[in-house]
């Protein structure tokens, strides 16, 4: 299928970010490394800090990580830590400090070890969105983070600057949502892998305004493509792909799904919709509280209960005319693994749809086994 030029510009965005980050560093700009979408990037940009995503999506650094970490640990944690100790990730090398959150146990303990390599600011995240005190506590954590950023940079986070960043981030999220929504078309203009290469760029943005312009151009082009296209082939079963974060290097399951003929209409994970589905309420006068609410509402399996995810899955099943749900769990990710039981019940009983749970790691050794299971699943649809 013909892809617009605006797609190529975004798909190569990450490689163009690195020289810009190096240049910004030369001018004294601080770089903050992130591992999770709970990190409130509006505060970082408002303090003049460039945030970069450091989440490990690749098998290569895992053997080195296993020298210090147990082998039976989530590959995302091992890969992230492995990049840190092998100095093989230029974005990690560029980071002046790391921002962590108390999400899953493995990540929490990884931050203790990463603190030996780089300064770590750990944000204490409540484990539930439902307790009355959670929002107060998390708002306090945002204030503590702001103080840290101001001390690191010497810059003041003014209400004016923070409000500007909140507005700009919301605009960016709206364009990412427009792009994602083109997956509702009978034949989506982008494959799941191509969609991932676009949504993943949000972790490497140096200039938000410039990024917004690129996203808007792509959203316009994709919508025009959908409006003008006569589908020339019968698309495969429409899949909602959900679960642990997936990215370039850990896209094994997504790739097999598409090779087997599935149409991956929408993805619900942290390099995709979960990172930009929620907007900050701009009418709320307390900027820290409204920002805190938006981030706390992120439906991650680290929260208990995580009912927001079930609601989101229902919405996506209906909006994207889904035929089946594929839930990916990285090996040893207990929260997503346990949650898969409730998600299966929800999908099979409430929506009467087939559900496939896949537990795997970053290695390629089970590729053919997975292909067999995925082919059998798609035949049912």
150 Cα distance to chain centroid: 26
Residue written as tokens 């938006």? 294
- Which helix (H) or strand (E) is 314 found in, with range? helix 307-319
Given a contact cutoff of 8 angstroms between Cβ atoms, the answer to whether 192 and 257 are in contact is yes
Per-residue x/- marks for ligand BJ8, 167-206, CB under 6 A?
----------------------------------------
- Which helix (H) or strand (E) is 238 found in, with range? strand 238-243
Rounded to a whole number of angstroms, the minimum distance from the CB of residue 268 to ligand BJ8 is 11
Cβ proximity to ligand BJ8: between 182 and 271 the closer is: 271
* Dihedral sign for Cα atoms in the order 263, 266, 270, 275: positive
Cβ proximity to ligand BJ8: between 32 and 188 the closer is: 32
- The answer to whether residue 76 forms part of the interface with ligand BJ8 (CB under 6 A) is yes
- The answer to whether residue 335 forms part of the interface with ligand BJ8 (CB under 6 A) is yes
Given a contact cutoff of 8 angstroms between Cβ atoms, the answer to whether 316 and 310 are in contact is no
Cβ proximity to ligand BJ8: between 159 and 305 the closer is: 305
By CB under 6 A, what part of segment 291-310 binds ligand BJ8?
A: 298, 300, 302
- The answer to whether residue 82 forms part of the interface with ligand BJ8 (CB under 6 A) is no
Which among 92-100, 283-291, 329-337, 356-364 is the span making contact with ligand BJ8, rule CB under 6 A?
329-337
Q: Give the three-state DSSP class for 73.
A: coil
By CB under 6 A, what part of segment 102-131 binds ligand BJ8?
A: 103-104, 106-107
The only residue of 89, 98, 260, 270 in contact with ligand BJ8, by rule CB under 6 A: 270
* Dihedral sign for Cα atoms in the order 194, 342, 203, 97: negative
- The answer to whether residue 94 forms part of the interface with ligand BJ8 (CB under 6 A) is no
How many residues belong to the site for ligand BJ8 (CB under 6 A)? 20
Rounded to a whole number of angstroms, the minimum distance from the CB of residue 6 to ligand BJ8 is 27
Given a contact cutoff of 8 angstroms between Cβ atoms, the answer to whether 263 and 187 are in contact is yes
- The answer to whether residue 330 forms part of the interface with ligand BJ8 (CB under 6 A) is yes
Given a contact cutoff of 8 angstroms between Cβ atoms, the answer to whether 357 and 329 are in contact is yes
The only residue of 21, 32, 33, 38 in contact with ligand BJ8, by rule CB under 6 A: 38
Separation of alpha carbons 379 and 262, rounded Å? 10
Which among 70-78, 86-94, 157-165, 189-197 is the span making contact with ligand BJ8, rule CB under 6 A?
70-78
Which among 3-11, 34-42, 83-91, 372-380 is the span making contact with ligand BJ8, rule CB under 6 A?
34-42
Rounded to a whole number of angstroms, the minimum distance from the CB of residue 7 to ligand BJ8 is 25
- Which helix (H) or strand (E) is 327 found in, with range? strand 324-330
- The answer to whether residue 278 forms part of the interface with ligand BJ8 (CB under 6 A) is no
Rounded to a whole number of angstroms, the minimum distance from the CB of residue 108 to ligand BJ8 is 9
Separation of alpha carbons 368 and 64, rounded Å? 26
Cβ proximity to ligand BJ8: between 319 and 359 the closer is: 359
Separation of alpha carbons 320 and 192, rounded Å? 13
Of 317, 245, 251, the residue nearest 274 (C-alpha)? 245
What is the secondary structure of 264-309 as a DSSP string?
EEEEESTTTGGGTS----TT-S-HHHHHHHHHHT---TTSSS-HHH
- The answer to whether residue 77 forms part of the interface with ligand BJ8 (CB under 6 A) is yes
Q: Which stretches of the chain bind ligand BJ8, using CB under 6 A?
A: 36-38, 74, 76-77, 103-104, 106-107, 244-245, 270, 298, 300, 302, 330, 333, 335-336
């Amino acid at each position: 299928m013909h892809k617009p030029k605006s797609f190529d510009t975004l798909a190569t965005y990450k490689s163009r970010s690195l020289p810009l980050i190096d240049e910004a560093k030369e001018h004294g700009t601080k770089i903050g490394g992130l591992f999770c979408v709970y990190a409130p990037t509006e505060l970082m940009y408002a303090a003049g800090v460039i945030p970069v995503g450091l989440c490990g999506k690749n098998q290569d650094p895992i053997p080195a990580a296993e020298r210090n970490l147990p082998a039976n640990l989530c590959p995302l944690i091992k890969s992230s830590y492995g990049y840190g100790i092998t100095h093989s990730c230029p974005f990690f090398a560029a980071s002046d400090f790391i921002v962590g959150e108390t999400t899953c146990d493995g990540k929490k303990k990884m931050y203790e070890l990463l603190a030996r390599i780089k300064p770590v600011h750990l944000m204490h995240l409540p484990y539930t969105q439902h307790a009355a005190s959670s929002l107060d506590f998390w708002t306090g954590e945002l204030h503590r983070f702001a103080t840290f950023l101001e001390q690191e940079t010497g810059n003041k986070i003014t209400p004016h600057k923070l409000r500007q960043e909140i507005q700009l981030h919301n605009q960016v999220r709206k364009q990412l949502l427009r792009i994602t929504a083109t997956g509702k078309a009978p034949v989506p203009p982008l494959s799941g892998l191509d969609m991932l290469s676009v949504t993943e760029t949000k972790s490497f943005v140096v200039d938000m305004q410039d990024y917004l312009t690129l996203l808007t151009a792509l959203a316009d082009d994709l919508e025009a493509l959908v409006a003008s296209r006569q589908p020339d082939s019968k698309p495969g079963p429409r899949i909602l792909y959900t679960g642990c974060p997936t990215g370039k290097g850990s896209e094994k399951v997504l790739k097999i799904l598409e090779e087997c003929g599935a149409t991956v209409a929408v993805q619900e994970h942290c390099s995709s919709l979960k990172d930009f589905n929620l907007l900050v309420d701009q009418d709320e006068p307390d900027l820290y509280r409204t920002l805190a609410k938006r981030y706390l509402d992120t439906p991650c399996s680290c929260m208990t209960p995580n009912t927001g995810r079930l609601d989101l899955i229902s919405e996506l099943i209906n909006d994207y005319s889904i035929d089946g749900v594929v839930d990916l769990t990285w090996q040893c990710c207990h929260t997503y693994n346990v949650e898969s039981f409730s998600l299966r019940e929800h999908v099979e009983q409430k929506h009467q749809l087939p559900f496939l749970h896949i537990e795997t790691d970053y290695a390629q050794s089970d590729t053919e086994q997975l292909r067999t299971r995925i082919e059998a699943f798609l035949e049912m649809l």
